[in-house]
Structure formats: C-alpha cells, structure tokens
Structure 1
Amino acid sequence: MTRIAIPADSPFGLANLPYGVFSTPGLSPRVGVRVANTVVDLAAALGDDVFARPSLNPFMAQGYGRWVEVRERIIDLVSGDVPGSAVHPVGAVTPHLPIEVADYVDFYASEHHASNLGRLFRPDSEPLMPNWKHLPVGYHGRAGTVVASGTDIVRPSGQRKAPSEDTPSYGPSRRLDIEAEVGFIVGTTSPLGTPVPTDEFSEHVFGAVLLNDWSARDIQAWEYVPLGPFLGKSFATSISPWVVPLLALESARVATPLQDPEPLPYLQEKNAWGLDLNLVVEWNGQVVSRPPYREMYWSPAQMLAHMTVNGASSRTGDLFASGTVSGPEKDQRGAFIELTWGGKEPVEVNGEPRTFLEDGDEVTISATAPGASGASISFGEVRGRVLPAR
C-alpha cells in the first residue's frame, strides 16, 4: 500500500480528480484518475472491469448516479492508502484519447470572437448576423479527426483564393490558425425525438476538456459561403487528455453575460452554466493570449438544449465545443486571425513578427478554474505541432 502525497496547492487535488486513459509498457490502455503527480489505475484500485477499457465511454454510459458514487469512492480511496501497484508517476504513463468520439459539434458562442470575425470577413456589414443573439450558432464537425493532445498536425491542403487572385488555386494552407476552446462530453444519451432541457444538462454531460479547433483560414474563407466550415476545419481537432468532471466545476459556475434579447423559453436557464475558466495560449513556448471563458455569451447547457431541440439524439461520447474563447481585450483573443487582425498586425513571438502558423510551430493551450474550498483546479494542456503538408 502507498499514501499519495497531495500538496495543498496541487491543481490535481481532491477538488479536481480528472479522468483519462493511459498505458504503461506493462499495461494496455485503461482508465485512470490524475491525483497530484500520479495516475491511479482505477481497474486495479477499485476492482471494476469497466475501468479496464481503452475508453471512458462504458463508465460514462452508466449515468449520473454512478458518476457521483465513483467520485466519492475515489476521494475516500486516495485520502488513505492505495494499492501500490495501482499508482504510477504521471511522467511514466502514456496518455491516450480519453473517449471514443461519437459525434462532434462546434459552436460559435463568444460574442467577442464572432464580432471580430464579422468585422474581418464582412467589413461593410453588421458584425453579428441577425440570428446570433437568438440561438447558439454551430456546425457539425468530423468526429474521426479528433485527436489526442501531442498528436502532430499535418498542414492541410485545399482550394484557396486570396482577394487579389482571379481564380482559386490548390495547395497547402497559407493561413493556418488555432482556436482555443472548451469541449463538453456527453455521458448519458437522449433518444431520437427527445430534447434535453437546460436544467438536465448536468445529468447528461460528464465533463469538460480543452480543445484546439485547428483552422485553415484561407480554405475556410473560400468554401464557407453558403453552407459554412468544411475542409478548413475537418482535418484535425485536438483535445486534452484529462476530462475534468462536471461535478468538479460547481465552484466555477458563474452567470453568463446579459443575454439581450431574452432567449426563447427552451434556452432559458434558472441557474446559468457560465464557467469561470482562465485559458492560456502559448505559441512556441511564449504566452500570447489569456482568453477568459466567463465572457462566453452562450452556456454549454444552452448549446446542448439547442443541439437537441429539433429531436436530434445524443450519444455517449458526443463532443461539443464552445467555439473560440475570446475576451474584450486584444491579449484575450483565442485565435491568431483575431490576435493579428487577419495578419495585418503581427505579434512578436520569440523576437520575430508572426501572423499565422509556420511548419514546426507548436501551440499549447492550458486552463485553470476555481475549485471547492478555495482550491485551484487544472485542465492540464492540449498541445500540437505543425508538420509540413504532404
């Protein structure tokens, strides 16, 4: 038996306890929980085969009551002695994609981000489209290209047409970008024809991850009218390895910004699921932005309600993302197209003026949130490096 040392200021203490999937040279991928600087093998520690699977999906499908029960068991377990064979140093394990992604939807929930892109893409029109403050705008992405943090991102190729060009050409994206986002993972299903009300959000959503929605802006700009993003978004989406349970985020709940006009009844919340998360974006090791999630106009409960209001079903492992997290200040913008104002205002990265991503660049997104009893909890990080086009 062993006693895990949990420093009082650890962002992976009892207030957090995020889940992930890991392996070691002697163990196949399985579910673990991050405790301080260790990972606890839950199949070994709790004697439950549901955690011996290479995905969180079987556990998540067991439902809210089971999530509460297991969290309480883990707190009791790691507060005392843990079987030594179940405890692994975090640096000795290999993290994997924590879920089997069923469907993937990406929203556009930041008023600051949407307004900035409106000014860039449609300079002679109102920044926000007429529907934006009436519903959470979103699009369906590609579940098969959601990848684990640390996976290299191959520069995508496609059609692109600059304003100065008469005809489109084909080739590698010249305006490769990131979007710093928060993703939410559905644990329990809702059947076809049955909407999920906002007040049932926490019974369906298991937890949250950090997400980088890699974006080829030149491909996107040429293709997105009239049906929206397609090849400019579908080549890769990275998520962090640790899933922070929604149960750990109760202390991070805040009101959303004032929603005016008042949303339609199906989008109204009695107790809003705004979240006080502080993101940090690093470009080649240098912090270039600190996007505040508390500024997001639409909450994840409203996103799920809108996603299912037409009767669309939800499945265990569905992933839906917030869209770029941006604040009102320049250094709070969560995408490089905003940060450099379409490439016209370069930022200095390690002494060099930069606009969009170059081959070899690495982007890391991290985040923290307030936890119970004054603790700070960490989401870890989502990281990716750009490789040349093939």
Structure 2
Amino acid sequence: MSRPVVDHTHAPDLKTWVEGANGHADFPVQNLPLGVFSPRGGDARIGVAIGDFILDVRAAFGAGLLPGQSAEALEARTLNTYMGLPASQRRALRHALSALLTEDANAAKVQPLLHPAADCTMHLPAQIGDYTDFYVGIHHAMNVGALFRPENPLLPNYKHVPIGYHGRASSIRVSGTPVVRPNGQTKAPTAEAPSFGPTKRLDYELEIGVWIGAGNELGQPIRIEDALNHVAGFCLLNDWSARDFQAWEYQPLGPFLAKNFMSTISPWVITIEAMAPFFVAQKARPQGDPQPLPYIWDEADQAGGALSVDLKVSITSEAMRKDGVAAMQLSEGPATNMYWTVAQIVTHHASNGCNLNPGDLLGSGTISAPERSGFGSLMEITRGGAEPVEIPGGVRTFAEDGDQIALSARATADGYVSIGFGPCEAIIKPALPLA
C-alpha cells in the first residue's frame, strides 16, 4: 500500500522562527497546509498556513526561494496543477517550505512574504470539477436507518459496496460563506399533496473531504494498492441537508434539492504528506460481516489506511453570539468510525473506469460514533426531532436561522505534533422568497 512516509518534516522537535507558530493549535510547522488566499488589496494566489500567518508561495517562488519547483503549479490561482503533480514533487515542495520556515538564515528573506491570516481572504483551494458524496459512516447509517426501518436499519448492499452519489460541485463554498435556507417541496404524512417553502428540518453533516490528486484515464481503473497515490489531501466538509425535502424526493434516484443548495468546506488542504504519521489500522469488521470483494480489499490498507482524526461540531445561536456566550459542543468522535477506508472509496469510484481528475472532491459521508455524544448530525442527536437538544437560551431539533455550525478536526498520534484542519463554519440566513 502506497501510504505517505514519515520524514524529518514531521519531527516533534522541529521549530519555526515564525512568531507564535510553535505549538499552534492548527498550523504548526509540521502541518504546512496549502490554500488559495488574497492578501489585503491583492489578488488570489497560493499560500501555506504557518501559525497565524500565511506565506505567499507565489511570491516566494518569484523571489527564487523555491528553486526547482513547478512554476505552472505555484504561480496558479488554484491548487489543481499542484494536486496533479507526482507525489515526489509534492513532497519536495513540502521539504522546501519546511526549510524556509525552520532555518533561521531564511527569516530575513521570508518574513516580508508573511501575511497575517486575519487580514486575508480565503478562496476555494481548487476548481472542483466533480463532487461525490459517500456514506461510509456506519453508525450514521445505522442511526438514520433505524428511524425508518427499526428492524433492518442497513440496506443489504451496505457492507458489500461503498455507497455514494454524485453531488453538485458548483455550490461548494469555503468556510465563512453564509448558507441560505433553501426552498423546496415537502409532503406531510397526512397531507394529500406536497407544499413548497423553506425547509423546516435543516441539518448539518460532519464529514471529511478527500481531494483527488493525480487522475486516471477514462476506462482505466485504479488498483487499491495504488489508490493513495491519487489523493492529494484532506479537508473538513459540511454537507448541509434539508431532511424534509429528502424524505419526499429521494426515491427513486436519491438526493437532489435536499443536498445541492450548498456544502461548506474548510479552506486549507491538509496534504497527504502532512498526514503521514496519522494513518492507523482500520477497525476490524464485526464478526459475521461479509468479506469485501478482492478489488477493494488490501491487507496493508487494513493495517494502516484509517485516519487518526478527532472530529467535533459546535453551535452558537445568534443570541449566544450577541451575549458573548461560548459555542456549545454538539458532538465529538473519531474518524476511525468510517466503515470503508479512503483507498477503498477511491478504488471503488474508479473501478468501472470513471476518470478522476486533480481537484475532484470526495466526501466521506456523515461520520458518527456509536454513542449520542458522537453523532454527526442533528437528525441523529434529536432522533428525527423527537428529542430536542438544549442549547444556552433555547432548544434545537434542527438548525434555525442565525445559528452558526462549526466543524473542527485534529489529527493526533503518539510521539508526533498534532495538526488541525482549520475552520469549517457557516451561519444560516433566512430563506429568500420566490418572486
């Protein structure tokens, strides 16, 4: 299995000369995530997060500080070209950036190229050609399935095939972009006909996003042993859902307007190279579960293809923010609750010859823990609205206008510096009336 390798850039004693970055909650020098930003008064360009600053990678390359790197990749306004580079070239860039930010001799040359992150605007890191959402969180599948099929929550295919559907790439937005409550059709169980209007059951979904790197030609599948060579990095993903729309529309073709109005992602690509220390063994399948078919089974992937990432969701209402009340945590749980690995979903996606391209985005699907404290959606936490959750100053069954939902993630491993994924948050705005 082609997992990334741990090297000197992950050393726990590695320090940077950038003020405040050592021990930073998300972006110590062991992370070095890439994104697309605009400094104040400037245009979009590639940058790397270091502590509370962003290093202008385009400017560093132009100043001759990154010799031998790809001009096409580093002078671009998106990360698509970078994502499509061979892993060896991406690793070489990481090594060069690490040296710039850790060797004191570079400080005088690099310091002028740092911008306070608070003064910058973040953009989508890549032009997303395609977006596919999977359903690999087995506890979420069990919890939601039990609401509708108590005797048989999982459908027969779940443990044989990674379930997924193609979503709308054009409505993916970067953290901080408000989400407008969508309008759509719903039908109450007792109603004779459907009605149209704002969703009453707006929900979040806690997911990890997988950025595709090098693609494959149409008709050419990807072997599971090679799957991680086609991954460039990771992000957080909130796949907003209108549960009442979904209940009415999803048969027979699956989610549509319930999902495509917007998804929120964190702006930084946590590179697969940065994640090298945080790949761990996949959880053993429960006794009696079927053996996956050979094309999506690899012993090395099972031994080290899962992600050691802690995931959290919090909420603040408009009133809480006005009164200065801290955000309330709704859930926390590990990404190891994914039933299928990243390599398995990439392999399955391309197994029929589907061509993946640099900058395509895959969603894990909602990741939930077995217990309520780790449920990854309000649908689960409130049991479909039957058991409201208390928040400071009120209760929630589903998200309300003015609520801010924030996702966070931290990769951890014994003996290594933990790294964060950065913000993934959005405030809900009221629905817009149709003229």
TM-score relative to the length of structure 2: 0.86
Distance 2:86 2:20 in 1: 29
Partner in structure 2 of residue 110 of structure 1: 137
Partner in structure 1 of residue 98 of structure 2: 75
Partner in structure 2 of residue 62 of structure 1: 85
Q: Deviations over 1:86-131 (max 9, x none)?
A: 11111121111111101000000011000111111223x4100000
Per-residue deviation at 1:163?
1.9
Question: Of the candidates 100, 121, 134, which is equivalent to residue 94 of structure 1?
Answer: 121
Against the structure 1 CA distance between its residues 381 and 109, is the aligned structure 2 distance closer, same or farther, given a 3 Å change threshold?
A: same
Amino acid at match of 1:335: S
Per-residue deviation at 1:373?
4.3
State whether structure 2 residue 294 is matched by structure 1 residue 279. Answer: no
Residue range with higher mean Cα deviation, 336-345 or 91-100? 91-100
Contact 2:310 2:334 in 1 (8 A): yes
State whether structure 2 residue 59 is matched by structure 1 residue 19. Answer: no
Aligned length: 388
Contact 1:179 1:324 in 2 (8 A): yes
Question: Of the candidates 117, 121, 124, which is equivalent to residue 148 of structure 2?
Answer: 121
Against the structure 1 CA distance between its residues 295 and 263, is the aligned structure 2 distance closer, same or farther, given a 3 Å change threshold?
A: same
Where in structure 1 do 4 or more consecutive aligned residues deviate above 6 Å?
Answer: none
The structure that has the greater radius of gyration is: 2
Distance 1:354 1:6 in 2: 38
Partner in structure 1 of residue 73 of structure 2: 50
Helix, strand or coil at the partner of 2:333: coil
* Structure 1 unmatched ranges of 5 or more: none
Aligned pairs for 1:141-180 within 5 A: 141-180=167-206
Per-residue deviation at 1:46?
2.7
* Structure 2 unmatched ranges of 5 or more: 1-15, 63-70, 317-326
Per-residue deviation at 1:136?
0.6
Helix, strand or coil at the partner of 2:139: helix
State whether structure 2 residue 18 is matched by structure 1 residue 4. Answer: yes
Helix, strand or coil at the partner of 1:65: helix
State whether structure 2 residue 278 is matched by structure 1 residue 252. Answer: yes
Partner in structure 1 of residue 430 of structure 2: 388
Distance 2:226 2:175 in 1: 30
Amino acid at match of 2:408: S
Partner in structure 1 of residue 380 of structure 2: 338
More strand by share: 1
Question: Of the candidates 370, 376, 381, which is equivalent to residue 418 of structure 2?
Answer: 376
Per-residue deviation at 1:227?
1.4
Per-residue deviation at 1:14?
2.4
Per-residue deviation at 1:250?
1.8
Contact 2:40 2:119 in 1 (8 A): no
Against the structure 1 CA distance between its residues 183 and 323, is the aligned structure 2 distance closer, same or farther, given a 3 Å change threshold?
A: same
Q: Deviations over 1:149-191 (max 9, x none)?
A: 1111111111111223232111111100000100000111100
Question: Of the candidates 279, 288, 295, which is equivalent to residue 330 of structure 2?
Answer: 288
Contact 1:41 1:86 in 2 (8 A): yes
Amino acid at match of 1:4: V
Contact 1:208 1:245 in 2 (8 A): yes
Question: Of the candidates 344, 357, 369, which is equivalent to residue 327 of structure 1?
Answer: 369
Partner in structure 1 of residue 299 of structure 2: 270
Q: Deviations over 1:37-64 (max 9, x none)?
A: 2110111123346323221112112221
